[in-house]
Structure 1
């Protein structure tokens, strides 16, 4: 019998689903509200994301068979709920998928151009990106978790390197600005940045339905991006 994955491995899968290029816009989005109002809005979104993840986990554990968000919605909300969930799921994650594939394609095209010393068009970069992601998925969950840990490590090294360069330019007097009315527009951005809930059913079976591991993974997996966003 295979051993269930560790809390750290499961937490990093959730964290990697949350942290993305969207965080680069956080300073611009939250600038009007100010540091304290934006932090409060982010904290509210963190608790909301953690709570919804735990609720989806509970719903997933009701079933003896493998389920996903669509089948859970069908069982609990009926056919109308299934159609609504399917439509929202398709719209949201296809938009996210397109954004990441396009951005990843540009990165791969730039990397290949540097390695080959020849201009690589973006569409070839996109094809390479899709092939790389497909190979990761085909390798299986164990290999995927290992690759994910390496990518998260690279992300954190890059993030703290960026902070080390930016640290001398911090102006603490800018943190005192407050505009509570400007906080509301930040909520949708922060909520999407804690988007991992579609992963919970898969993670439940990946962790062999180990309730302690799953609860800690959801808590820690949301806490990691919260602190990354807070520091950024």
Structure 2
């Protein structure tokens, strides 16, 4: 994933000021928040406020540590080494092939979900069909990924800033109208919440699925310690935004109002439509819509960068205009075509992504660091916390999250129906 770390269209090796932590943190946060912001309210409707907060807090902690495990596993390799290179070297060809398939599947299905959602939101704004809107969205905004990581850094900072401003304005409008009876669901005294937490975990895991960008962060900063700080800051920004978002949504939209949204697969236009029915101010509603579009765009660019760099390394495309054009095609065209042919619900897509993502966000990072520690015993270099107990804990979390998803698919876990 390291192909585009330095500006490929400029002279390599130029002396520049080192990248700031906030720039890298914004890339990590932008990868997370699109899926999380737009998927968590519907996914967490059954668990509701308290248990949703518990689920995403636990997930954030585990996913931050598993990202640090990847950094530790990378530390004996060249800064340009990717997830693909390190996994093949430490765990072997067969494990690496399976890991590659899950990385591409998750990255592709996230891009697919963002492309589909952007089309649904933009069709009314542009006055064209959702399919045409999706095509225009990809053609215009994937250019930042094609250009360089520095371009993604710059646009990510702009988008995160823009998201925060529209989020603050929109959430402030929601927050002043929060009804604590709705937030606590006190009107349903006999309601059950805990049975729905397990089915929520795959979407929560996807909400912190930045791991395909870890190699990019390490190469971008030049060392593991600075990259680890950017990762922690990025996941913390995402978690804080999730808290505020869920508080505002669950405090305004009654639990039972999520039933028709869930029936439509958790599509973003359905969620925004339901919110519009309870928001009295048109300016607040516009701010929420603007925030949602910015969240999709920032995550599209952030996820696109990770998949782009990963496929560039995997396919051995060179770092030229022509080579990057090939990488652009294999990164963005498959999810665009699938989005046009087979659109389906946003939360459904995110759930599938979460189940597959357990492989390369939890299981593989833990296995990599477990084996790497046997050959690299230098205690003075970067090391993820928790020892082997944390390694086993991360693996268990990943396996159980995948199991919960498949249990939910076949009806072994309760589904919220109102």
Q: Cα deviation per residue 1:11-65 (whole Å; 9 max; x = unaligned)?
A: 0010000000552342332232232222111111000110111011112222125
Give the structure-2-normalised TM-score. 0.50
8 Å CA contact 1:36, 1:175 repeated in 2: no
Identify which of 137, 140, 159 aligns with 2:145: 137
Report the aligned-residue RMSD.
Answer: 2.0
> Are 2:209 and 1:195 equivalent residues in the alignment?
yes
Q: What do the CA deviations read for 1:124-180 (whole angstroms, capped 9, x no partner)?
A: 333322222332123322222111111111111221222122123312234445732
Residue 93 of structure 1 is matched in structure 2 by: 107
Structure 2 Cα separation of the partners of residues 21 and 141 of structure 1: 21
Q: What count of residue pairs does the alignment treat as equivalent?
A: 225
Match of 1:126 in 2: 134
Q: Matches of 2:43 and 2:151 in 1, distance apart?
A: 36
Give the whole-Å Cα distance in 2 for the aligned partners of 1:142 and 1:93: 20
Is residue 223 of structure 1 aligned with residue 236 of structure 2?
yes
**Mapped pair 1:159 → 2:159:** no
Q: Could you tell me how far apart the structure 2 residues matched to 1:175 and 1:108 are?
A: 30
Greater Rg by CA = 2
**Larger relative CO (CA 8 A, sep 6+): 1 or 2?**
1
Alignment partner of 1:208 out of 213, 222, 244: 222
Give 1:108 shift: 5.1
* Structure 1 unmatched ranges of 5 or more: 114-118
Partner in structure 2 of residue 103 of structure 1: 117
- Looking at structure 2, the residues matched to 13 and 92 of structure 1 have their Cα atoms a distance apart, in angstroms, of 18
Alignment match of 1:28 (pick from 19, 42, 56): 42
Q: Indicate whether 1:146 and 2:154 are aligned.
A: yes
